[in-house]
């Protein structure tokens, strides 16, 4: 069966994460450099294979000192582990609801993850390029991947939560 390869359009894709700070506020960050593709035998992407890679050094939380700390061995150890990688499959649940399941590798540790995805559809842009869109959401526990740094406040509160929320808006270009 013939497959179609779709590449991530970095101009129209966002990779965002959110994590609680001091349990009372949320810090949002982005990865600005990434690449990936999906290979599909059908236009509804059911059963498609997905590959995605983030450049850890492109992390941006709008605070240079925090970004440097996140790249350090306390968190991502970017010098030793420069990418975060995902390999998995796309499964249609019903309508525009999908599941993205596969292996996420971060800081040298690989764990199975399941993310929810909403298929936005397929459209031809004004230049004749065929595009497809997905909005992807999920959660991971950072400590499952060896991101163990933690601190406790005087009152006993946690500085950084273990749960990290993921939110991706992905636009694919038919290749």
Look up the CATH number of the domain holding residue 11.
2.40.128.110
What are the C-alpha distances in Å from 136 to residues 5, 98, 116, 168? Answer: 19, 9, 6, 5
Domain that holds residue 59: 4-174
pLDDT digit string (tens) for 66-87?
Answer: 899 999 998 999 999 999 999 9
The two tokens of residue 102 are 């596969």
Reported as a single tens digit per residue, the pLDDT across 28-49 is: 999 999 999 999 999 899 999 9
Query: Degrees (nearest 5) of the Cα angle 76, 82, 87?
Result: 95
pTM of the model: 0.89
> Hey, is 67 helix, strand or coil?
helix
Joined together, the tokens standing for residue 16 give 């965002």
99: burial class by Cβ within 10 Å (0-12, 13-18, 19+)? middle
Question: What is the pLDDT tens value at each position of the chain, 175 positions in all?
Answer: 689 999 999 999 999 999 876 666 788 999 999 999 999 999 899 999 999 999 999 999 999 998 999 999 989 999 999 999 999 999 999 999 999 999 999 999 999 999 999 999 999 999 999 999 999 999 999 889 988 767 554 555 445 678 789 999 999 999 8
For the chain, what is the domain count?
1
């Amino acid at each position: 069966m013939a497959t179609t390869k779709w590449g991530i359009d970095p101009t129209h894709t966002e990779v965002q994460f959110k994590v609680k700070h001091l349990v009372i506020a949320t810090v949002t960050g982005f990865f600005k450099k990434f690449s990936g593709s999906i290979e599909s035998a059908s236009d509804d992407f059911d059963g498609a294979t997905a590959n995605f890679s983030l450049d850890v050094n492109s992390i941006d939380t709008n605070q240079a000192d925090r970004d440097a700390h996140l790249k350090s061995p306390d968190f991502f150890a970017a010098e030793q582990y420069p990418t975060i990688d995902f390999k998995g499959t796309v499964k249609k649940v019903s309508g525009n609801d999908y599941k993205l399941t596969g292996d996420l590798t971060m800081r040298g540790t690989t764990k199975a993850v399941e993310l929810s995805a909403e298929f936005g559809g397929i459209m031809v842009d004004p230049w004749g390029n065929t595009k497809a869109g997905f909005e992807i959401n999920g959660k991971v526990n950072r400590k499952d991947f060896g991101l163990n740094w933690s601190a406790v406040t005087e009152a006993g509160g946690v500085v950084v939560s273990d749960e990290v929320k993921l939110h991706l808006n992905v636009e694919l270009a038919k290749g």
